[in-house]
Amino acid sequence: MSLRIYNTLSRALEPLLPLESGHVRMYVCGMTIYDLCHIGHARMAMAFDVVQRWLKCSGYRVTYVRNITDIDDKIIKRALERGISIRALTDEMIAVMHEDVGKLGIEPPTLEPRATQYVAPMLELIRKLQDKGLAYQAEGGDVNYAVRKFPGYGKLSGKSLDDLRSGERVAVQADKQDPLDFVLWKAAKDSEPEDAKWDCQALGYPYLKGRPGWHIECSAMSCQTLGERFDIHGGGVDLQFPHHENEIAQTEGVTGRPMASVWMHNAMVQLDSEKMSKSLGNFFTIREVLAKYDAETVRFFLLRTHYRTALNYSDVHLDDARHSLKRLYTALNLVAPTALAVDWTDPFAARFKAAMDEDFGTPGAVAVLFELATDVNKTRDSRAAGLLKALGACLGLLQDEPRAFLRTGATLDEDAISSLIGARAAAKSARNFAEADRIREQLLKQGIVLKDSVNGTTWEVAS
């Protein structure tokens, strides 16, 4: 079975048919950098990390572009609050983002363009839209997109112009011909800092000094890095409208042909059934979560739910993820895995592939990992353990040394634990079983589980 992806545009599962044989080009809308990234941002990055990993496991060459928005109202406001330049703020936040998502095993994209690096291409797109009659310059200097002049507007979100207009409660602004129109270029305000203003005339364009609107950024960056048409465009479902709808209007308004073959959208992380977001103030940063849980547990928590299904965040769910992941590592700890390449005709591997080939079905793939772990527990087969590790690698899991993972979170250092294990062994040799039991209980109270076997005593952190 070939890889099928749910296309938001067609609202159907479709086979992946790259425009260039063997090469998948993917653009994903990344983060707006003004603060620490939260677990909702991690969910988006994780979803498309899994996508690019599986494409590579399937033999494709992947060019993965994930942009950074490094200029907008929130960034300007935060820089002014902190009394630093916009570039100083965004450089700092980008470095922090790289550190945080890197800890989760999220691989860097092939390219990571910043919006501020592509202002000239944005202005060129705006000029072409104006030449085609799809954009106009308002009296105040803003340049707006004329939504009603683009016939396909609403095809991604399924929203009609009449529905959008009937829901519009705001009167037409002085600088807009229609409430549905959106800004392409924002004329600068006197109150804005100079590093938030671009001199259009110096760049060869007849617009007032200012900065780009949010939507034009991605149209310009995707065209510049991947071409006017590419295979996959992704992002959070909250971007489906209006951001991605507006991207289509901008790019296709210029090119006259489809922008992306497939549109993918991951569902949101929820807290108490409400979307997690900075604007609502109901979010946990990646750093806050990693202060309580190891990175691989967080990764497993994020990917064991299908990317199009809303994910409920709670300590209970993360504790369960930790317990489940320990079951897999316990199997790998039984026997040294044989390093091997995946044979996709193997029954376990074939079921794993079938799950992933059906719209990156991580829940089904994870279920196969547990089936394989059960087999390892029964057979002690090193090749089965090797296959478990190799399949886990396709999801960015199970690459740690098993004993190290099982001991993650210990409240005592290894020397202290080894000393107590030695004291317990001496007590058992002296037939002082009460003292041996006391030491076991002492360790258990500190989260350390002892396991006795003919080869000696080992330990791990309690679930």
**DSSP per residue over 303-345, as a string?**
HSS-TTS-EE--HHHHHHHHHHHHHHHHHHHHSPPPP----TT
User: pLDDT at residue 239 above 90?
Assistant: yes
User: pLDDT at residue 435 above 50?
Assistant: yes
Cis peptide before 108 (omega within 30 of 0): no
> What is the average per-residue pLDDT within 329-333?
96
Question: What is the separation of C-alpha 313 from the centre of its chain, rounded to a whole number of angstroms?
Answer: 15
Res 109: pLDDT: 98
User: pLDDT at residue 167 above 60?
Assistant: no
Structure tokens, 85: 């330049």
Lowest mean pLDDT among 142-146, 268-272, 344-348, 427-431: 427-431
Nearest to 117 by CA among 63, 73, 68, 45: 68
Q: In angstroms, rounded to a whole number, what is the distance separating the alpha carbons of residues 38 and 202? A: 38
Helix (H, G, I), strand (E, B), or coil: what is residue 189? coil
Q: What is the mean pLDDT of the chain?
A: 91
User: pLDDT at residue 166 above 60?
Assistant: no
Greatest Cα-to-Cα distance within the chain, rounded to the nearest angstrom:
93
Percent of the chain clearing pLDDT 70 (strictly above): 90
Nearest to 305 by CA among 341, 267, 272: 267
Q: In angstroms, rounded to a whole number, what is the distance separating the alpha carbons of residues 32 and 275? A: 17
Res 462: pLDDT: 61
> What is the average per-residue pLDDT within 80-102?
97
Q: What are phi and psi of 46, to 5 degrees?
A: -65, -45
Q: DSSP character for 247?
A: H
Res 259: pLDDT: 98
Return the half-sphere exposure (C-beta side, CA atoms, 13 A cut-off) of residue 292. Answer: 13
CA angle 392, 397, 402 (to 5 degrees): 95
Res 442: pLDDT: 65
Res 170: pLDDT: 46
Task: Tell which wins on pLDDT, 447 or 317.
Answer: 317
Res 252: pLDDT: 98
Res 169: pLDDT: 46
User: pLDDT at residue 456 above 90?
Assistant: no
Q: Whose structure tokens read 């039984």?
A: 334
Helix (H, G, I), strand (E, B), or coil: what is residue 167? coil
Q: In angstroms, rounded to a whole number, what is the distance separating the alpha carbons of residues 349 and 345? A: 7
> What is the average per-residue pLDDT within 183-207?
95
Res 171: pLDDT: 46
Report the phi/psi class of residue 185: left, alpha or beta, with left for phi > 0 and alpha for psi in -120 to 50. Answer: beta
Q: What is the pLDDT of residues 11-30, one digit of tens each?
A: 999 999 999 999 999 999 99
User: pLDDT at residue 361 above 80?
Assistant: yes
Asked if residues 115 and 212 have their Cβ atoms less than 8 Å apart, the reply is yes
Q: What is the pLDDT of residues 384-405, one digit of tens each?
A: 999 999 999 999 999 999 999 9
User: pLDDT at residue 277 above 80?
Assistant: no
- What per-residue string of b and e applies to 184-198 under the rule 16 or more CB within 10 Å gives b? bbbbbeeebeeebbb
Nearest to 105 by CA among 366, 284, 301: 301
Return the half-sphere exposure (C-beta side, CA atoms, 13 A cut-off) of residue 26. Answer: 30
Asked if residues 62 and 24 have their Cβ atoms less than 8 Å apart, the reply is yes
> What is the average per-residue pLDDT within 283-290?
93
Structure tokens, 419: 């000393």
Q: In angstroms, rounded to a whole number, what is the distance separating the alpha carbons of residues 412 and 87? A: 43
How many beta carbons lie within 10 A of that of residue 82, not counting itself?
A: 12
User: pLDDT at residue 445 above 70?
Assistant: no
Q: How far is CA 283 from CA 177, 213, 247, 289, 323, in A?
A: 37, 26, 28, 10, 24
Lowest mean pLDDT among 26-30, 64-68, 133-137, 171-175: 171-175
Asked if residues 178 and 146 have their Cβ atoms less than 8 Å apart, the reply is yes
Q: In angstroms, rounded to a whole number, what is the distance separating the alpha carbons of residues 278 and 285? A: 10
Task: Tell which wins on pLDDT, 22 or 161.
Answer: 22
Res 232: pLDDT: 98
Nearest to 451 by CA among 435, 436, 439, 440: 440
Asked if residues 367 and 355 have their Cβ atoms less than 8 Å apart, the reply is yes
